[in-house]
Structure formats: structure tokens, C-alpha cells
Structure 1
Amino acid sequence: MGVLCSAQSRVNQKGAFSGVASTLSSGRLPSTFAVGDVIPLWPEVVWKIERGAVRAVTWSEEGRPVILGYWGVGDIVSGFLLPVEPCQVECVKATELSRVPLNLMERGSEAMILQLKQAQELLAIVRCERAYLRLLNFLIWLAKKFGEEVETGRQIELRLTHQEIAEAIGMARVTVTRLLQKFEREGIICRPQGKTIVLKQM
């Protein structure tokens, strides 16, 4: 991908890992992480997501975050599946992980294929020229991957901010806010108590 980060981004990334790194060095490998925690990406460690969701992020030369993807229950996360430097994986929900030793992982090829498929799906969404369709397709993708059926439609279980959505699809935050309001007026989505998004039409 050839994406570089600013010096400040590198400092932030190093600081984000320091707490987890000290825990690892003490021999106590954590398996539960809170929202915003950074997952350690070690060459010999493969993580399987048992509960929650994470996102992978890198930075542009200007220091802007570039979202590489979102992963949920059953997905595999590892440094060797994310060949971008620098890169960090952050929890977007409270997350529980199980550690799969790399030498015992038999589904490596399948995991890599799934990662590639997701990257292609997100790339196709980002390439939509019309902002309306780009955001709508992203919501549909989130609803399929992280949604649960409710009476009014399919509820997206990730509580992403407008800024996080904007970063994921290369759009201005104000545009995301304006389009979400438009979707709500058109009956495409509803937002119970303004906390989660329910997609009423797929």
C-alpha cells in the first residue's frame, strides 16, 4: 500500500503499545480488551476474535488515519495478514480474543482469502463516486457483517462515530452527518435514541 505515517503518529503508536507490551513481557498474556485498546501484533501470534470487533488503521504522510478494515466474531487477526507498516489494530467494542499458535494454525490460507475479500469489498465501496451511494453501501456492508435482526430492520452493533465512518470511507465528517440525516428522513435508517443505526432497507 505504501502508506507512511508522520513522526507524531509513530510516537502515538509506540505509546499505545507500551502498556500491553509490559504485560506481555511479564508473562501474563491478556485475552480481553476494552474499547480503544490496541491489540499487540507479534509475528508468532495469531488472534481469533471470540467476542467484540476491531479495526486496523495506518496513517498517511500527513498523519491522517487510513482505515484498512473491520473484523468481528470468528475472524482471524495477525501481523502477517496486515502487511502495512505502520499498522495497529484497535478495539471498537469490548473484545475477547483467543490466541492461536502460528505453527498450529491450519486455516491460514482461508483467513488470508477472507482478508483479501474484505479489502476488495471496502475498496469497491470507497471507489463509489457518489457520496450518497458510498455511505449507503458501507452501512449495508456493516449491517451484513455486524448486524442483528430487530423488529424495525437490521441493527448495526458497532457504535461508530461520524468521524470514524468518515475515516473508513474517505469522506468529510459533515457529509456523513448530513447524509445520515437524509437517510433517516427517507426512511432508510432509524437511530433509536441516537445510539445505534438500524438499516430498514437492505
Structure 2
Amino acid sequence: MAFHEVRFPDNISRGARGGPERRTQIVELASGDEERNASWVNSRRRFDVAYGIRRSDDLAAVVAFFEARNGRLHGFRYKDWADYKSSLPSLAITPTDQQIGTGTGSLTTFQLVKRYTSGAQSWTRTIVKPVAGTVQVALGTVEQLTGWTLDATTGFVTFTAAPGNGVIVRAGFEFDVSVRFDTDMLDVTLDIERLGSITSIPLLEIRR
């Protein structure tokens, strides 16, 4: 299976539904108490983009996109409008949004990540599909305009010279989600005015 570095149409994804999914096993004991176990370490996102189709041209664009991906065969980029950047939705991206590592004096490559924190608990999400041209990098609190490169297909930031031992490496960025279609058939309906609709177009995050 190949991954196509192309993004699903933004005007359609903006009206989609979906979000993170977890898998938890729950066993209810005879006493009524519960035992809970997390089957997945990381969440997985699901979306339904049928809700974003508002006109016949949107429908045609989705069918073309589906055919070009060979249904479920090839993955692609998707913009999750509810969660697509390193900062809060109301704030602009800054180079100090997320800590992505700590310098050792020899380490030159750092993976982009985003942390989700509530109270004392947090979860770290690996970002593998940053949007080229949006990434900003800082050492400590000082933005670095040069001296590093980005691999926009993996989310790795590589420095020309290794950050010093103990130096905090930070970054700000926009990012896409790696997804694939979760169906091999589009059930298209045409009404009397020849306007089309599709009941459901499920997308599933590809975890690597």
C-alpha cells in the first residue's frame, strides 16, 4: 500500500464529522465493580466526510478522489478542522508551542509531537504529516530561522548542528492526519434534480 501525499479537499472536510477513538475493555464483576484495560496505547481518528458535500461538484470531487486512491488501497492527507495545529484554536502558531525534545550535544533529529494535557495527565501524539511552510522551530525560547530542515512526510526536524546538552527544542506547526477510505464502495444517490448525495463516506486514521 502506498501513501499519496495529497490532501482531501478542504472545502469538504470542513463540514465533516469525526474525532478520536479509544479502545477499552471493560469487565463487570459479580459484585458490580468494574475492571478496565486500555487495548490501545494511542487513539485513532475516524471521520465521515459525507456531511461536507453541499453541491454536485463536491460529489464529483469526492468520487474522483476515491477513484484515484483505489478505494481503501492508498492513504492520503486529511485536515481535521477541529485539531490541526500545535496551538489552541484561537491562537496563532508560535515556535514555542510544543516541546519536541532536549538536546544532548550529539542528537540532531527530533520528531514533531503534540501533547494533550488535562490536570496531571497527558498524552503525546506523534505528528508525521506536518504542513510544509507552517513549521517554526526554537531552541529554548529563541526562534531558529535557519540551521534546520523538515521532512514533511515523516515529521522529523533535522538540525545542521546538534543542539547543546540540555537545550529544550520546541516547535509550532500545522499538521494533517494520515487516513484512508474505510470503504471500497461509494453509494451515490441522485434525486430528481440530478443533485447527488452519499449516505456515508468513512475515513480511518492510518497508525504507523
Same fold (TM over 0.5): no
The structure whose Rg is larger is 2
Q: TM-score, normalised by structure 2?
A: 0.25
Larger helix percent: 1
Q: TM-score, normalised by structure 1?
A: 0.25
